[in-house]
Structure 1
Amino acid sequence: MIHPLRKHIEEVISLTDHEFAYILSHFTVKKFKKHQFVIQEGNEVKNDHFVLSGLLKATYVNPEDGKENILQFAWENWWISDYQAYFNGGSATLNIDCIEETEVLCLSLQNRDKICAEMHQIEHFFRRKSNSGYVALQQRILSLLTNSAKERFNNLLASYPSLFQRVPKSLIASYLGVSRETLSRFTK
C-alpha cells in the first residue's frame, strides 16, 4: 500500500522510492488524543503537520470577549500549522487541537528548507500547496464578506459533506460564524 504522504506528494510530482524514503526521513510521527493541543497560543511553533488520521481545528480566541473562532479544520491528507509563527518565528496566535484521536507527520522548518534546497521537485510541490492554500484562504475570506450564512453553510456542505458526520454542530456553527440556533434552522 502506498504511503499517504507519498500519494499526496505524487498528486503534484513524481518520486522514486529512494527520493520518497529520503523525504520521509525528515518527518517525525506524533499521535495526539482527542482534545489534546498540537499547538497552543503563546508557544513556539516548531512544525507543520500533515494529517495521517484524525481531525483537527485551528482556532483564534478573541481576547476581548473570549469567543473561539474556527479558522480551519484539517483531516486526512491536509496540512495544518500556525503558519505565521512557523515561518516567521515568534509565538503562536492560534490554538490547534484534536477533535478526534489524531496521527500527524511533523516537519520542522529547518528540515523543510533542507529538502527543498536539495530537491527542486519537492520545493515545487510545497510552492503548489502554498498557492492552493492562498487561493482557499482568499475564497474563505470573500465568502465571509459576501455570502449569507445560509450560502456559506450550503457551500461547506457541498464541498465537505463528510465533515458534518465528524464535527459537532457547535463547531460547524463557529466555523461559519453563526449561532448554533441559526445552524439548526439550516439543517431542518
Structure 2
Amino acid sequence: MEKLRKHIEEIIPITDEEFESIKPFFTIRRVLKNQYLIQQGDDAKYEYIIMSGIFRVFYLNEEGKEHIVQFATENWWMSDYISYFNQKPANMYVVCMEPGEVLCLTLEGREQLSVTLHKMEHFFRVKLTKGYIALQQRVISLLSNNPQQRYKEFAALYPNLMQKIPKKYIAEYLGVSRETLSRLYSNNK
C-alpha cells in the first residue's frame, strides 16, 4: 500500500490519517500471466491501478481481430471505462502479460472517496485528464503518422516495454504487420 500512497502523493499531499481512510477502498489482487481481469460481456466492476506486471487492454472486432488500445504497467490505471462508468457490459478485454499485482477500486468506492475526501476528487480528475490526453495523442498518431514515426514514438515513450512485450503485440498496437515491425526495428538499431 505504500506504493499507492507514493502514487497519490505525486499529485496531492495526504496525511497519515487521510491515507488510513483511503486504504479500505482498495483491494489487492495478484494476477497470473494470461489471466483476464475483464472479458467482453463482463461487468467491469473495477478500475485497476497496477502495482506490478504488464497488462494489455484490447478489443476484438467481429472477425476476431485484436485491436490493442493500451499497454499498462506500474502506476498506470486501466479498465473498460465505458463499462465501468456506465455500468454496462464490457466490450474490452484486460489480460495480464506477466505476473502482477493490482489494486481494485469500485465505482461506488471512487465516488465515496471523492465525496468524503475532496482531495481524492482532484486526484481522480488529474489522472483521468492525463489518461484522456494520452489516448487522444495515440489516436492522432494512428491517424497522422506513418509506421516508422509510430514506432519511434512508441520506443521513445515506452523504452522499457520494448524489451518486455512480444513483438507480435507491439506490431498490433502500432497497426503494422510483424514483418514491418521487424524492418522498423532493424532500421532503428
TM-score (norm 1): 0.97
**Counterpart for residue 87 of structure 2:** 89
Number of paired residues?
A: 186
Runs (5+) with no aligned partner, structure 1: none
Aligned to 1:22: 21
What CA deviation, in whole Å up to 9, does each residue of 1:81-106 have, x standing for no partner? Answer: 00000000110000000000111000
Is the aligned partner of 1:174 residue 2:172?
yes
In structure 2, the residue corresponding to 1:162 is in which secondary structure?
helix
Distance 2:20 2:145 in 1: 44
The CA deviation at 1:76 is 0.5
After the TM superposition, list the runs of 4 or more consecutive aligned residues in structure 1 that deviate by more than 4 angstroms: none
- SS of the residue corresponding to residue 153 of structure 2 reads helix
Q: CA deviation at 1:108?
A: 0.3
Q: Which has the higher helix share?
A: 2
Matched, 1:59 2:58: yes
The whole-number CA distance in structure 2 between the counterparts of 1:5 and 1:140 is 26
Residue correspondence of structure 1 range 29-48 to structure 2 within 5 A = 29-48=28-47
Query: What's the offset of the Cα at 1:35?
Result: 0.3
3-state SS in 2 of match to 1:14: coil
What TM-score results when the alignment is normalised by the length of structure 2?
0.97
2:148 to 150, 160, 169: 150
In the alignment, the residues of structure 1 paired with residue 40 and residue 71 of structure 2 have an alpha-carbon distance, to the nearest angstrom, of: 17
Percent identity reads: 49
Q: Deviations over 1:117-176 (max 9, x none)?
A: 011110000001111111111101000000001100000101110001110000000000
Counterparts of 2:183 and 2:86, CA distance in 1: 42
